[in-house]
Structure 1
Amino acid sequence: MAPYLIQPDAPTTESRRLPLYDAGSVEVPFGILGMSEVMDRDTFWEEHSHPTHELLWNDRGASWAMVGQRIWTITPLTGLWVPAGVRHSGWAPSGTWHRAAQFDLRMLRLSEEPVAVDVAPLLRLLLDRLQGEGLSGSSRGLTERMIADVMAPAEHELTLRIPDRPLLAPIVDAVRADPADATTLEQWAGRLGVSTRTVTRAFLASTGLGFGRWVAAARMHHAIALIAHDVETEEVAERVGFGSSSAFITAFRRVTGTTPGRFRSS
């Protein structure tokens, strides 16, 4: 299981097609409009864009959004802000409790680019309140202003950029097939018939990361997917190539800012 192993044509996957809108191309009669859905099957959203800004987060499980070559992991702790007009696709596995909110362009401009958002308890409560019934006009306006005031970028971004260099495709495919693959940089260079410096430069140019850091990031994306599906921490550590649970927990905390246990219970 991996976020960049999305198979929209798989028989069990529902594929949804949405329009492409330019920012502000549709006038909306709301400040913030929320929605909630528990996915009853693996679901893929084809590339689309909204006339409004969008905040994505989950009440349960992990999902993914792809903007260009960059994949963002969305969890109950870390959401994603997608500015109006930005093209993106998405994938949520069965069982995910998926949440989204559309923001009128006059409400908030958190960032000109996609950015991870800290889904703090207060923000979650305010978003839940906005979806409640019987909220008066003045109370709704106050809630929307409070949401705009407390929303902030997350300290940790759960992102992975997929290399677009043909040279690196065999490495991506290998990690895709087995995140515990232990092939070293030197071994890959030998297989590909190039120098280690060439592989390193290709990774840096395509992803901003060297070989080792990119593999570590890809492994952590696999790990988050497994944890979201209630795979035990010891098994997750083994399946993504860590020699011990303690080493995996340390790496997980460094990347996500939390422990697998807290992530699992969120």
Structure 2
Amino acid sequence: MPVTPGTPAARRASADRETRTLPALAAGPVEMPHAILSWSEVFARDTVWNEHSHPFHELLWNERGASTAVVGPRVWTITPALGLWMPAGTLHSGSAAAGTWCRAGFFGFDAMASMSPTPVGVEITPLLRLLLERLADTGLPAGSRAVTEAMVLDVLAPSSRELLVQMPVSDLLRPIADAVRSDPGDQRTLAHWASRLGVSARTITRAFNEETGTSFARWVAAVRAQHAVELLGRGWEIDVVAEEVGYRSASAFGAAFRRTTGLTPGMFRAR
């Protein structure tokens, strides 16, 4: 999502929202002063990026708040604990809420042959965070930078945990997906949707597994977690967020949120 080094971004701003337009560039070598470049920005407005791509790899993560990255039907939420590896040349769009402190590392095209060739979640461990923060120091001596970059390349690895929602695209599931995305607190069950759509619950279950790779219940939980991250990032109170995304108690919401994000709602909100 960040601006390609040396490439200006066209910006259109309103009082509360800014749109940034970036080019779609193919993967390939690009001249960079270091093996890993650091980028950081705190957004005063809600900000969106058009679909674009970079010639280099990106590791996206946040110091504070939540942002999203979209690749086709897949929507990732990026947090201080869960980052996203975006391979070079991958078309993606994105957004960040006002107040979000976004960070990124730009990796040369040949730097990470061992990483996934497709976008994948990355756990921002305390060690990885420390190393990335060290690389943000523009006064870091060349020898120390080389050692730190080598350590980043050594510890960076895909995570089995990520805030990802795979959007269904069939006419059957689109009404369900639209309803839950517009109101994550929607309490309608699988049986209700089956009755409304005139199909069996088994048909919907099979369709969800085929199109999203998960069950209806887990898909709804993922949508709720993404929405909760956005609201907490905007400063909403935890109990209000819990009710907004469909949990009957703050404790139940807290347990579900930690399972998904690796942070308690309080820890995330404080960041």
TM-score (structure 1 length as normaliser): 0.91
2:255 & 2:82 partners in 1: Cα distance?
Answer: 19
CA shift in 2, pair 1:10/1:184, >3 Å: farther
C-alpha deviations, 1:155-192, integer Å up to 9, x for none? 42111111111221211221122211111111111111
Partner SS, residue 165 of structure 1: coil
1:51 aligns with 2:55: yes
Aligned to 2:4: none
Matches within 5 A, 1:120-199: 120-199=125-204
Compute the displacement of 1:65 (Å).
0.4
Q: Compared with structure 1, are the counterparts of its residues 113 and 219 closer, same or farther at alpha carbon in structure 2 (3 Å cutoff)?
A: same
- The residue identity in structure 1 corresponding to 2:126 is P
Between 79-88 and 136-145, the greater mean CA deviation after superposition: 136-145
Distance 2:87 2:157 in 1: 14
- Residues in 2 aligned to 1:256 and 1:29: alpha-carbon distance in whole angstroms: 34
Greater alpha carbon shift after TM alignment, 155-164 vs 27-36 = 27-36
Instruction: Tell me the CA shift for residue 133 of structure 1.
Output: 2.7
Alignment gaps of 5+ in structure 1: 1-7
Of the structure 1 ranges 10-19 and 167-176, higher mean CA displacement relative to structure 2 is found in 10-19
User: What residue is the counterpart of 2:8 in the other structure?
Assistant: none
TM-score computed with the length of structure 2 as normaliser: 0.89
Structure 1 segments, 4+ long, off by >6 Å, are 8-11
Describe the superposition over 1:40-84 as per-residue Cα deviations: whole angstroms up to 9, x where unpaired.
111111111111110101111010101111111101111111111
The runs of 5 or more residues in structure 2 that have no matched partner are 1-11
Number of aligned positions between the proteins: 259
Say which is worse superposed, 104-113 or 199-208, in terms of deviation. 104-113
CA offsets, 1:65-107, max 9 Å, x none? Answer: 0111111110111111111111111100111001111101232
From 224, 233, 239, the equivalent of 2:238 is 233
- Answering whether residue 259 of structure 2 is matched by residue 254 of structure 1, we say yes
> Which residue of 1 is the match for residue 268 of structure 2?
263
1:80 to 81, 84, 87: 84
Give the one of 56, 61, 82 matched to 2:65: 61
CA RMSD of superposed structures (Å): 1.9
Task: Give the Cα separation in 2 of the matches to 1:207 and 1:186.
Answer: 19
Residue number among 16, 21, 41 corresponding to 2:20 in the alignment: 16
- Structure-1 separation of matches of 2:47 and 2:38: 19
The residue that corresponds to 1:103 in the other structure is 107
Change (3 A) 1:37 1:252: same
Distance across 2 between alignment mates of 1:133 and 1:246: 43
> Percentage identity across aligned positions?
56
Q: 1:9: Cα distance to partner?
A: 11
SS in 1 for 2:49: strand
Q: Which residue of 2 aligns with 1:220?
A: 225
**Paired letter, 1:151:** L
Report the AA paired with residue 45 of structure 2.
R
**In the alignment, what sits opposite 1:114?**
119
Partner secondary structure for residue 72 of structure 1: strand
